[in-house]
Structure formats: C-alpha cells, structure tokens
Structure 1
C-alpha cells in the first residue's frame, strides 16, 4: 500500500439511528459502515496522508489486517482515497453525440384564461390574443420525437400552454395522429397535460381518461391561499371553479393517478395546510411543491426567510411521509417521492435534468427550446422542426453544462443529485442558464441529508414500501 489521502468531496456521512451511513457522492450510492470501515474513514479524516505504518500504528491488533486492507481497497476503488501524490482530478465533460429524446412538449397556445400573478411564461397572452400552434407544426414536432427516440419503446407527448385545454381541437388531432403512428412504428405513446382545470367538462374528462392522459392540476391550496395569485384576467379568484372541477375530475378519472402542482410564493408558504387540503380534502393522489425564487416579478419571489421556512415545513411533512411509509402507507408527497427515487436508484446526474437530452419543447413557430419554461424567452433556440435539431449547438450547451470547473458544484456533496439546479431558474435569476442556484445550496444539502435519513429508516423498518410505492410510480403507463 502506498501513502494515500482522503478525497473529501467524494464522501459524505450521515448518522441515522446510531448507524453511520456513507454517501458515495459521485454515484449517489448509500452504504452502511461497519466498525472497521468507520474506523478507517476516521483515520483518513484525521490525517493528511496515511501510510502503511500509520495504519499499523493506528489499529495494531484492534482489527484483522485483512479486514482493514479490504476496506482500504474498496475505498480506493470508489475513489474515496487515492495516491497522495496524485494531483486533483477534474471531471471531464462527456462528449454529446446523440440526443435520445423521450419527450416533446408542445406549447399549443400562448393564451390563458387566467392571469396568475407569478406566471413565468414570457410569451403568455390573454385568451383573445392567444397564438395557437398549427397541426402541421405539431406533426413535425412529433415526427422529430420519433426520429430521435428510434431506440425507445415508448415516448411522451406533452401538451402545455398558456392553458393547453384552450386548444382542444389540436390536442384531439394530435392524439389521433400519434396513436396511429405509434401503432405503425411499434411504440407506446403516452400523453400528459398540465392544466388550470377551469375548462374541464365531464365529456372532456372521459375523453382524457380513454386516452390515459397523465394529468397535473395547477392549484395552490385552500381558497384563501389559492385566490391570492391564481385569478382571472379580471382579477377574480378561481378557487371555487377549480375546486369544483377538480372534484368532478377526481370522482370519474380512473386510468391514472392525478397530481396537484403548487407554486409557493411570497405569503403562500403553508406547506402542511396546503398538502392536507389538496391531498386529504380534495383527494389528489400526489402533491408537489415548487418554490418561486426567480420569477420575473420579484414581489412574488420567496424571501430567504420564507424559503428556509418552506424547507423546514417540507421536512415536517417528510417526517409524516416516513411514519406513513413505515406503516405501509403513501401520503402522496411528490417532492419526497422524487428524493426517495433518486436515492433508491443511485441517481448520477451530470446535468440538472433531461432538458435538451431527453426532452425538448416546441413553440408555435416550431423552434426548439430546452424546456417549456423557455418558450417565448430570449434564450437561443436549438433548431426548428422544419430544419431539424441543431445538434452542434445543443451538444456544445450540454457539454458546457457538465463542466463545473471553478464552480461550487465541482466539490459539492449533492452534485450528482442537483448538478447545479434548474436551467430556467438560473436564467431568470442570473440571465445565465448555467449559473448555479447558490441561494438554494445549503437548503438543498440539508434536504438531501434529511432524505438519506428518511430512506435509511424506511429501508430498515419497511423495505417493501419502495417496491410497492416507488416502482409502480416509475413504471406507470
């Protein structure tokens, strides 16, 4: 054994119920350390460099030499320790030569019948001025998806807006077209829509049900909270209408679980009350929370104090999630579900999300955007459905996104889960989609530590929860 030193950015420890859990940062793999591995890690932490003589002196007859050697060998293999003479390594961006899309998002109408005060959409218009996507553009978008997803068995067609249900003629046309093309090429086509629910009717709900849409309803909680920001063009609150439509939807929709998406803004931060109302009173299957910190209208962005309070409440709700999971129940907290999935699967992200790689969004002109949040923005696009995907430009962007040199992300312990944060949030806040969202960092690190504890406790007391509740969620058709 040569002299070795610790690579601190590759290892993180979390104590859980007296157990020492080791997070292998590059792969998001979790290990429970036994007495020997814990002692070896402590030795490396307390010494700048560890030689064979140092190991012999530290452990003597305390542990079998072979056991210590096995642990050190495993640490070397995981790059937790390395040759002390070796210079620092910088992760090299992987060259991007393929864009295997699984999802295309169609911005079917810029018009919306609501005027939510915090809306981030830069191309949003009033209903009368809505600019609708043409069928020809939608077809070309879908054909681009099929071309890029040639090796995938299933793809997802997402309808977005504005309010997407305000362009139902196009949606109906595209569902018919996509299902027929799917049969021709042997692919399963999934459909998704995010809607404010105001335009839902029983007939429309039954049609969506027949085509197995994944439906997400934008709703911000009880009446007093929802009506603060989610208002009509004339400024009238929409809770009564949305709640009535949501109850109707939930009473008759059978093909897939329906989730609610909550935008947390200044003054709308009561995570516990919102979850209880949407999940327990209205009956949504899952509720997910999206804190607004970089919206165009700063008056609606959460303050630092509010953001900290939101994360504190999410941990309280997370504890309820853990208690329920140990008892075999799922309380439908999607932020927690996602974190558990990341830890269960050993998520290893080089970029923050699938934007640009697994997903692209298309505007009414056929221009290709990183995701639906960028349509209408000044962010450069990456080709057009008429001329094709600009692979050189998109590849250069994705490779640059991987390069964390000179950023705090390079040595961050959650870099394989966060990977720098949402492109659009960075763009809105810093006018640079690749700028790390530093205002989130400490809160996100604490949230992941909480998740490690939660995952360990659930896995200890009821490991069957993950198979029953996480795997079906990932594999839902």
Structure 2
C-alpha cells in the first residue's frame, strides 16, 4: 500500500449517543462506523497521511490485516482516502444539452391586495395597477412545458403572483386546458399555489379541492405577529380575515394537506409560539419557516444575532419533533421534514435547486426566468414562450453554477445539500446569484449536523416513522 492521505472535505464524522456516524460528503450518504472504520478514520484524521507500516504499527493489535485492508479499500473507493501523491480531483461539470422541464411557474398577476413589508418581489404593485397574464401566454407556457417534458410522465404547474387568486379566471382556464392536454398525452399534472388566503371563497376552495390544487398559505402566526408585517395596501392588519378564511379552507378542502409558510423578521421570531398557533390552534398540517435576510427594506431583515437565535429556536422545535417521531407522531414542522428527507435519501446536488434546470417561471409577457423570485428583477431572461428556451444561455448559467470552488464551497461539508444556496438570496443580498449565502453557511452546517443527530435517534428508536410520515409526504409533492 502506498502512502494514503485523508481527503477531509469528503467525510464528516459526528458522534450521536455513542454511535460514530460518518457522512460521505459528495453523496450525503450516512454510515454507522464499526470499530475498525472508526479507528482507521481517527488515525488518518490525527496524522493526515499514513502507509501500511503505520497502520500495522498503530492498529494490528486490535484488528486483523484483512479487516484493515478491507476498511482502507472502502475509504479509497469513497475517495475519503487517496494516494498522497495524487492531484486534487477536478470538479466534474455536467453539460446541459437540453432543458427537460418538469415545472412551470405562471406569474398570473403582479398585483397584490396586501402590502407585506418584507416582500422581495420587484414587480409587485397594487391591485389597481396589477398586470395580469392572459390566457394566450398561459396556454403557450403549458405547451412549452409539455414540449420540454416529453420523457416525463408527470408535470407541475404553479400559480404565483402577486396574489394568484386575484386572477382566478385565468387559473380556471389553465387548469382545464392543462388537464385536457395531459390526458391527450397520457401524462398527469399537479397544480399548486401560494396564497395570502384573503380572497378565498367557498366556491374557490371547492374548485381547488376538485382539481387537487395543492395550497400553501402565507401566514406569520398569532395576531400580533401576523399583523406586524402582513397588512392591506391601506395599512390594516389582516389576521382576523386570514384566520377566518383558513378555518373555512380547512373545513372544506380535503385533496391534500395544507401547509403554512412563515416569514421570520425582526419582531416576528417566536418559532415555538408561531408553530403551535398555526398547527394546533388553526389546524395546518405543516408549518415551515423562512428567515428574511435579504429583503429590500433592511430594518425587517434578521441580523446575525437574531439569525443565530432563530436557528437555535428551530433546533428546540426540532427536538420536540424528534421526541414526537420516536412516539410515532408527526408535529408538522416542514423544515425538519425537508432536512430529514435530504439525509434519508442521500441528497446529492450539483446546483441548489431546479431553477433553470427542471423549472422555469413565466412573467405576464411570456419571458422565461430562472424562478418566480427573479420575475421583475434585473437578472437576464432565458427565452420566451413564443420562441422557446434560450438553451445556450441557460446552459451556460447552469454549468457555471456547478463550480463554486472560487467561493470556498469546494471543501464545505454540506456542499451536496446546499450547493451554494438560493440564487435569488445571493443576488438580492450580494448582487451575484453564484455567491454563496455566507451569512447562512455556519448556521446551515450546524443545522445539517442537527439533522444527522435527529435522523440517527429516530432510526434507532422508531425507523418506521420515515416510512409512515416522510415517504407519503414526498409522494404528494
């Protein structure tokens, strides 16, 4: 055996309740280490480079030569150990030849009847000034999606805004048209939307239910916290109307679990109280949290101290999630669902998300954007629904996004989960969609460690939880 070096950025060890867990960073695969792999790894972690003589000298009293050899070979195959003289492995860029879409996001109206203080939408305006997408543009968008999804059996259509329900006539037309088109092609279609809930009526709820349109409601918790930022254009709080509409929605809608999406801002950071109110008092199936750190008005953004506190509070709620999971219960904390899904599946990302790859967003004029967050921004567009996708331009973006080595991502232990972070978050905060979300980096590494601990504890105590609660959830997405 030649001298081997530990490739430290390809492995991450974490001890959980006496178990030595090793995450293979390139694939996010998680292994429980046995005695020989633990001791071999610890030796290399201590000395950096070792050969056969050192292994024998250090470990032969505890393990047979064959066990040591097998362990070393397994580490070599995972690129955790490598010939000490070998150069660094170059990043493999996956070339983009075509854009195999699975999802199209229709920005059906730039107008919104609320004036939420933290909203990131650059094209947002009042209801009277809202620019609505017409059916001609929407129809072309659906046709583009189906043309680019020929190898897929299912596609997704997302309605966004502004407030999407302010263009409900278009949503009705699109649902009918898309259902007819996929039936002709032998495919299926899923619809989803995010709404502030103020425009919901019984008729709308029943129609969304009949067509299995997945619904997420933007709501920020109990009255005092919700009304701090989520106000009407005239400045009035909206908690009373939203909570009444939510109760009506949850009493009638049965197609899918309904989740709440919370934006955490200064003064709205009580994770536990918000979760308990939305989940237990109002009855949402899930509650997910998104910290505001790059909104257009800095006074609402969380600074580093508040962001750290929010993550600590999310871990506190996460511990309650783990305790419930061990009992076989699900408390509906969607951030934990996603984290545990990434770990359970061994998520391996070359780019942060499907933006520009499996998903594109269409503005009211038919131009194509990376995602809904970029609609109305100064970032480039990538074709339109009349001429199609500008594949060379979009491919150049996606291929460029795969190599963040110039930003420090190459040696990060969560690079296959984070992949540099949200393009829009980076663009809004730093002016560069490729620049990592540095303000999150250490917090996200700690959050993933918490996820590994949580996954290990649930797997040890109640592994059926994942089959009963996470797998059905993925099937609905």
Q: Scaled by the length of structure 2, what TM-score is found?
A: 0.99
TM-aligned CA deviation for residue 89 of structure 1: 2.0
The equivalent of 1:457 in structure 2 is 457
1:427 aligns with 2:427: yes
Distance 1:76 1:99 in 2: 35
| Matched-pair contact (CA < 8 Å) for 1:111–1:161 | yes
**Could you give the per-residue CA deviations for residues 118-175 of structure 1, whole angstroms, max 9, x where no partner exists?**
1100000100001000100001111111011111111111100000000011000111
Taking the TM superposition and a 5 Å limit, the aligned residue runs for 1:296-445 are 296-445=296-445
Tell me which moved more, 193-202 or 403-412: 403-412
Once residues 10 and 51 of structure 2 are traced to their aligned partners in structure 1, the CA distance between those partners, rounded to angstroms, is: 20
Distance of 2:318 and 2:59 partners within structure 1: 40
Q: Which runs of 4+ in 1 moved over 2 A?
A: none
Q: Is the 8 A contact 2:286 2:334 kept in 1?
A: yes
**1:189-225: per-residue Cα shift (whole Å, max 9, x none)?**
1110100000001111011000001000000000000
Query: 1:259, 1:167 → 2: CA distance?
Result: 22
| Deviation digits for residues 352-403 of structure 1 (CA, Å, limit 9, x no counterpart) | 0110111110000100001100000000001100111000000000000001
Q: Distance in 1 between matches of 2:162 and 2:341?
A: 30
Quick one: distance in 2 between partners of 1:205 and 1:248? 9
Query: Are 2:8 and 1:13 aligned?
Result: no
After the TM superposition, which of the residue ranges 51-60 and 437-446 deviates more from structure 2? 51-60
Aligned partner of 1:290 in structure 2 is 290
1:84 Cα deviation after fit: 0.3
For the residue of structure 2 that corresponds to 1:352, the secondary structure is coil
* Residue matched to 1:275: 275
Paired position in structure 2 for 1:23: 23
C-alpha deviations, 1:384-443, integer Å up to 9, x for none?
001110000000000000012222211000000000010000000011111101110010
The corresponding residue for 1:199 is 199
Q: Does the Cα contact within 8 Å between 1:90 and 1:405 map onto a contact in 2? A: no
Q: CA deviation at 1:2?
A: 1.2
Q: Secondary structure at the match of 2:275?
A: helix
d(CA) in 1 for partners of 2:48, 2:358: 43
Aligned to 1:189: 189
Cα displacement (A) at 1:288: 0.4
Secondary structure, aligned partner of 2:330: coil
3-state DSSP class of the match of 1:439? coil
Gaps of 5+ in 2: none
**Runs (5+) with no aligned partner, structure 1:** none
Q: How does the TM-score come out when normalised to structure 1? A: 0.99
SS, match of residue 152 in structure 1 = coil
What SS class does the counterpart of residue 82 from structure 2 fall into?
strand
Deviation at 1:61, TM superposition (A): 2.7
Pairing of 1:145-156 with structure 2 (within 5 A): 145-156=145-156
Contact 2:264 2:289 in 1 (8 A): yes
Tell me the SS of whatever aligns to 1:108: strand
Between 401-410 and 421-430, the greater mean CA deviation after superposition: 401-410
| Secondary structure of 2:409's aligned partner | helix
How many residues of Structure 1 are paired with residues of Structure 2 in the alignment? 477
State how far apart, in whole Å, the 1-side matches of 2:258 and 2:302 are: 27
Deviation per CA, 1:428-462: give whole Å up to 9, x if none: 00111111011100100000000000000001110
Counterpart residue number, 1:170: 170
* Secondary structure of the structure 2 residue equivalent to 1:254: coil
Give yes or no for contact 1:4–1:83 (8 Å, CA) kept in 2.
yes
Do the aligned partners of 2:139 and 2:174 also contact (CA within 8 Å) in 1? Answer: yes
Q: Distance in 1 between matches of 2:417 and 2:205?
A: 36
Matched, 1:214 2:196: no
What's the secondary structure of 1:217's corresponding residue? strand
- Equivalent residue of 1:409, what SS? coil
CA drift at 1:98: 2.4
SS of residue in 2 equivalent to 1:458: helix
- In structure 1, C-alpha distance between the alignment counterparts of 2:46 and 2:232, rounded to whole Å: 61
Residue in 1 aligned with 2:69? 69
Once residues 323 and 45 of structure 1 are traced to their aligned partners in structure 2, the CA distance between those partners, rounded to angstroms, is 33
Distance 2:159 2:266 in 1: 28
